[in-house]
Amino acid sequence: MTNVLVTVPLGEDFMARLAAVDPRVRVSLAPPELRRWLRGERAEEPELMAKVDHQAREYLEPAEVLVGWLQLPRHVRARAPRLRWVQSLSAGIERADPELYRDLIVTNASGVAAPAMAEYVIAVMLMFAKGFLRMLRNQLAHRWDRRLEAFELGGKTCGIVGMGAIGGEVAQRAKALAMRVLGLRRSTAPRPTDRYADALLTPADLPRLLAESDYVVLAAPLTPETRHLIGAAELHQMKRTAVLINVGRGALVDEEALVAALREGIIRGAALDVFEREPLPPDSPLWDLENVLVTPHFSAGGDRYAERAAELVCDNLRRYLAGEPLRNVVNLERGY
């Protein structure tokens, strides 16, 4: 019997689909107290500590597979001696401790949220192109003002930094709007969505992408190489009419340099769904800049996340039982 422990509640349908993969699978949802302990919350009260200890023996010790987030406490390995594979429900892995997962198979949820995130990118491009930010401010002020600028997306250039699962979905939708698409990524392995890019670039071509793009979309993973990938120098390489859209990780951008560039009109605006500190502190100047859209790390939000996550996890579970290679195996040392 293969024991699968799910540490994030995604609904009864999600659990039922996993259980239906194979009669050799037993799927359990970690109780709330154990879930909090797995998130790193300490159980101080003796009664609660005893409860967590009992739940760890019942659920963690027999678990061969964990499905949930990767930010687990270090001592989880001592309580899960049979653990062999961890399936993350997130694409990002930069906060995972490589030492904790040594000798384990780790897979992420790359692609699960990509369609929703691509729709977010298209939505904010349209918001800036059609002047919706200013019109919303005018509405709140009861001000009728037709002195607005509006642009068409057709013919404009969308530069995508990180032409992976998310970037590919953005490229497909941007192409449907008659945009020119530049895609940049480190990997040379072809992907089906490459056909939507007018040009595929390497990291060395970043200055070209920045100089030619009307909308720069950041969808790359956070690694030591990509931290502060966009700083003052890169912002000055962009068009003054360009908009920066970040759905990757907050630390891809030097926020101090970005604030300065936005205040000085070095670029037209920014749509930011991720930040170096989350939640974004109330005193961050980004809140009050009129050329910035701030959203609370919600670009992945959508009504089909659990459905797509179940498809991925079920497929990987079948592969695991059959001894076949899993999808989305990641290298924690490399960062993706």
Q: Which of 58, 225, 278, 324 is catalytic?
A: 278
Is the distance from CB of 238 to CB of 210 less than 8 angstroms? Answer: yes
Please tell me whether residue 88 adopts helix, strand or coil conformation.
strand
In the chain, domain spans: 2-111+303-322, 152-294
**Hey, which residues does 216 pair with through a beta bridge?**
159, 244
- What class is the 2-111+303-322 domain? alpha beta
- Common-topology check for domains 2-111+303-322 and 152-294: yes
Query: What single DSSP character describes residue 292?
Result: E
**In angstroms, rounded to a whole number, what is the distance separating the alpha carbons of residues 189 and 174?**
22
Q: What is the pLDDT confidence band of residue 319, given thresholds at 50, 70 and 90?
A: very high
- Say which amino acid occupies 245: I
Q: Which of 134, 297, 318, 327 is catalytic?
A: 297
* The model's pTM: 0.95
Q: Active site includes 36?
A: no
Q: How many CB atoms lie within 10 A of CB 196?
A: 23
For range 287-316, the mean pLDDT: 98
Q: Active site includes 297?
A: yes
**In angstroms, rounded to a whole number, what is the distance separating the alpha carbons of residues 160 and 213?**
9
Q: Which of 35, 185, 191, 249 is catalytic?
A: 249
Query: What single DSSP character describes residue 267?
Result: S
- What class is the 152-294 domain? alpha beta
Please tell me whether residue 257 adopts helix, strand or coil conformation.
helix
Which strand (E) or helix (H) includes residue 245? strand 243-246
**In angstroms, rounded to a whole number, what is the distance separating the alpha carbons of residues 129 and 93?**
33
Is the distance from CB of 65 to CB of 53 less than 8 angstroms? Answer: no
- pLDDT digit string (tens) for 32-89? 999 999 988 876 677 888 999 999 999 999 999 999 999 999 889 999 999 999 999 9
**In angstroms, rounded to a whole number, what is the distance separating the alpha carbons of residues 214 and 72?**
40
pLDDT of residue 9: 96
What does the H/E/C string look like for 205-236? HHHHHHHHCCEEEECCCCCCCCCCCECHHHHH
Please tell me whether residue 38 adopts helix, strand or coil conformation.
helix
Is the distance from CB of 7 to CB of 68 less than 8 angstroms? Answer: yes
**In angstroms, rounded to a whole number, what is the distance separating the alpha carbons of residues 120 and 300?**
8
For range 20-41, the mean pLDDT: 95
Q: Active site includes 142?
A: no
Mean pLDDT of the chain: 97
For range 162-190, the mean pLDDT: 97
Strand order in the sheet with 65-68: 25-29, 2-6, 65-68, 85-88, 105-107
- pLDDT digit string (tens) for 238-291? 999 999 999 999 999 999 999 999 999 999 999 999 999 999 999 999 999 999
**In angstroms, rounded to a whole number, what is the distance separating the alpha carbons of residues 271 and 170?**
15
